[in-house]
Amino acid sequence: MNCIYLTHGYADGHYVLPPLPYDIAELEPLVSAETLLLHHDKHHAAYVAGANAATDELRRINNGSLGPEHAACATQKLAFHLGGHILHTLYWHNMIGVPPCLPQGAFGEALVHSFGSFDSFCRLFATVAESVQGSGWAVLGVDPVSRRLMVCGICRHQDVMVPGFTPLLACDVWEHAYYLTWHNNRKGYIDAFMRHVNWQNVAEIFERSCSHGY
């Protein structure tokens, strides 16, 4: 992933858990305060710890204090945990309690250019999110080859990932993201998520991607 926007999750040589950009109850009824607290303070924090542990293992392999036979496992752990850290950091900032106006300007035009209309994009995004098998994400991002917007489903945090893909909007469909509030109604959660997207945040990330050649 080309995470040009990620400025909240790394400091002083370590991955860090960024604070939520809103009050713990602000996203209700999309997600309950209890769900948000567990998701951020437990699940996301575990991915941060895992990314740091995997990075430390790779450093020890590099300096010879840990054998090279550990390299494959360490790189797999880093991909999983760092992918989780990156996508969760994006996810928190993609949501807002009271959504701003719908996409306009260059980002709104790009949605129409890539998907035909805003409504067509929303239908596609929701369909992809619903169809992710098991644990994963639906993500809107920039195709590194065509430079058009594209929607993809990601298994876990890192599988079926397009190299160089720049994510703009991420919907977490792991069960821990919604089960306490929505139980097995993933569709209801996704529909609610689409009503709480912070389109201003998504547009700002898109505009940063434009300066990198969109």
The pLDDT assigned to 37 comes to 96
Tell me how far apart the alpha carbons of residues 138 and 125 are, in angstroms, rounded to a whole number.
7
Query: What is the rounded distance in angstroms from the CA atom of residue 88 to the CA atom of residue 94?
Result: 10
DSSP 160: T
Q: Which residue has the tokens 């769900």?
A: 35
Q: Give me 192's structure tokens.
A: 């609610």
Give dist(CA 79, CA 115) in Å, integer.
Answer: 30
What is the pLDDT confidence band of residue 7, given thresholds at 50, 70 and 90? low
- Interval 93-115: pLDDT, tens: 999 998 778 898 999 999 999 99
Q: Give the tens place of pLDDT for each residue, 17-43.
A: 999 999 999 999 999 999 999 999 999
Tokens for 176? 């821990």
Per-residue pLDDT, averaged over 65-82, amounts to: 89
User: 214 falls in which pLDDT band (50, 70, 90)?
Assistant: very low
Euclidean distance between CA atoms 146 and 151, whole angstroms? 13
What pLDDT score was predicted for residue 212?
55
pTM value is 0.91
The model's pLDDT over 144-172, given as tens digits with 9 standing for 90+, comes to: 888 889 999 999 887 767 777 899 999 99
Give me the domains of the chain, ranges plus CATH numbers: 32-94 (1.10.287.990), 105-210 (3.55.40.20)
